[in-house]
């Protein structure tokens, strides 16, 4: 008897491969060649990049979500994971389709991640920055204003949402950089080889690396804030912008893709600077995985399901809540638990559940 999912998983993996390969090719042309190409060729490359990043990406999110639910639907509950996927579909429709059409700006996705993940919005406030100089002729002053308003709205939504719902709000519902990939294509990882858990030495390495990346992100943030404040700083601002751009392309975009191929969809989440900041807000929000709703069988299904290599089982043994700063609130462990012993909670969620 053939498996119900004979075509879903290969198709899901194929879509992810296409997404990675096309991203590398088109992003390479957009960031490496477009600035040197003739105006007509440069405009065409930019249009292809925007079309791919907006329309094709949204299509992949929709199709991938359906395939993932078909793959996991017969083996376990999918309550929280359905919520994750629905959130990413809505986020993609808003950020990649509706807002660009309304504001006539196909690059709004640059403004969908709050500080300190990228200083793009701050650079757009500096009329001497290379980003401003490249966008002003295309967007005009009104386009720049709308992009910044969009950014402020997104940032407020993320911060307030995290204080209410914990890190789950951004990292497992709204993030259109790495979060959506990790959820939409969850059964496809890794694309090469077998799934593996992070070892303790690697966890220690990433626990240090995430603070290093946060410091780097804050450095760029304060650099542009000081410039905007009228403080003269050494160095070429165009060079600083290039360095940050290269950091994004190498240690974030390409490295995240490497994790998808060889390790896990959540690889970048281990050291994402925004994720680190939101984990601190998650502490304020009282984010936790409750582990005493029923009896724990010590079956390890929660540990197996966790993409962030958190030892949930050891907490569940004694009924202690899981409050790890690595927790992205994806709810995979909650859905995987056969006795429904686990649940995701924050101070706000606890309060409304009792009303």
Q: Would 279 be classed as within a structural domain? A: no
With bands split at pLDDT 50, 70 and 90, how would you rate the model's confidence at 175?
A: very high
Q: Are residues 214 and 316 in the same domain?
A: no
pLDDT average, residue stretch 39-47? 88
Question: What does the pLDDT read at residue 27?
Answer: 85
Give the C-alpha distances (Å, rounded to integers) separating 271 from 53, 155, 213, 287, 296.
24, 20, 7, 19, 31
pLDDT average, residue stretch 31-35? 79
Give the C-alpha distances (Å, rounded to integers) separating 172 from 97, 124, 241.
20, 28, 29
201, pLDDT greater than 70: yes
Q: Are residues 34 and 96 in the same domain?
A: yes
Whether omega before 149 lies within 30 degrees of 0, making that bond cis, reads no
Q: Are residues 269 and 291 in the same domain?
A: no
Residue 290 sits in a domain whose CATH number is 3.30.70.20
pLDDT average, residue stretch 81-104? 96
Q: Would 1 be classed as within a structural domain? A: no
Q: What percentage of the chain reaches a pLDDT higher than 70?
A: 97
Least confident of 130-139, 208-217, 303-312: 130-139
Domain boundary (235, 251, 273) is at 273
Of residues 50, 55, 65, 161, the one with CA closest to residue 114: 161
The whole-angstrom separation of Cα 338 and Cα 66 is: 23
Q: Would 241 be classed as within a structural domain? A: yes
Question: What does the pLDDT read at residue 138?
Answer: 86
Q: Are residues 95 and 223 in the same domain?
A: yes
Q: Are residues 16 and 69 in the same domain?
A: yes
Q: Would 280 be classed as within a structural domain? A: no
Question: What does the pLDDT read at residue 2?
Answer: 40
Tokens linked to 250: 């190498």
Q: Are residues 189 and 333 in the same domain?
A: no
Q: Are residues 95 and 24 in the same domain?
A: yes
Domains identified in the chain, total number: 2
Q: Would 155 be classed as within a structural domain? A: yes
352, pLDDT greater than 50: yes
With bands split at pLDDT 50, 70 and 90, how would you rate the model's confidence at 5?
A: low
The whole-angstrom separation of Cα 326 and Cα 328 is: 6
Query: Whole domain around residue 41: which residue ranges?
Result: 8-273
Q: Are residues 296 and 251 in the same domain?
A: no
Q: Are residues 44 and 181 in the same domain?
A: yes
Q: Are residues 186 and 122 in the same domain?
A: yes
Q: Are residues 326 and 251 in the same domain?
A: no
With bands split at pLDDT 50, 70 and 90, how would you rate the model's confidence at 156?
A: very high
Q: Would 46 be classed as within a structural domain? A: yes
Q: Are residues 264 and 311 in the same domain?
A: no
């Amino acid at each position: 008897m053939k498996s119900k999912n004979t075509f879903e998983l290969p198709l899901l993996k194929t879509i992810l491969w296409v997404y990675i390969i096309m991203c590398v090719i088109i992003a390479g042309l957009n960031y490496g060649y477009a600035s040197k190409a003739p105006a007509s060729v440069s405009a065409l490359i930019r249009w292809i990049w925007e079309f791919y990043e907006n329309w094709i990406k949204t299509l992949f999110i929709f199709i991938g979500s359906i395939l993932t639910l078909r793959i996991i639907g017969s083996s376990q509950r999918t309550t929280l994971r359905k919520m994750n996927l629905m959130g990413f579909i809505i986020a993609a429709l808003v950020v990649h389709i509706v807002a660009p059409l309304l504001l006539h700006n196909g690059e709004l996705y640059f403004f969908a991640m709050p500080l300190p993940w990228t200083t793009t919005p701050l650079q757009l406030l500096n009329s001497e920055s290379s980003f401003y100089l490249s966008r002003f002729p295309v967007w005009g002053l009104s386009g720049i204003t709308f992009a910044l308003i969009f950014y402020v709205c997104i940032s407020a939504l993320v911060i307030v949402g995290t204080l209410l719902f914990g890190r789950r709000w951004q990292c497992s519902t709204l993030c259109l950089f790495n979060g959506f990939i990790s959820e939409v294509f969850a059964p496809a990882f890794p694309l090469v080889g077998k799934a593996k858990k992070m070892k303790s030495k690697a966890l220690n390495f990433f626990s240090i690396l995430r603070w290093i990346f946060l410091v780097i992100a804050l450095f760029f943030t304060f650099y542009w804030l000081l410039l905007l404040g009228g403080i003269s700083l050494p160095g070429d601002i165009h060079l600083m912008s290039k360095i940050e751009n290269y950091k994004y392309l190498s240690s974030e975009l390409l490295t995240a893709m490497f994790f998808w191929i060889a390790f896990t969809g959540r690889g970048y989440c281990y050291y994402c600077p925004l994720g680190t900041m939101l984990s601190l807000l998650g502490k304020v929000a009282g984010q936790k995985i409750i582990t005493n709703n029923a009896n724990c069988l010590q079956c390890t299904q929660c540990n197996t399901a966790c993409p962030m290599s958190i030892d949930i089982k050891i907490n569940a043994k004694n009924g202690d809540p899981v409050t790890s700063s690595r927790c992205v609130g994806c709810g995979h462990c909650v859905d995987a638990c056969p006795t429904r012993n686990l649940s995701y909670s924050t101070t706000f969620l606890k309060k409304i559940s009792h009303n």
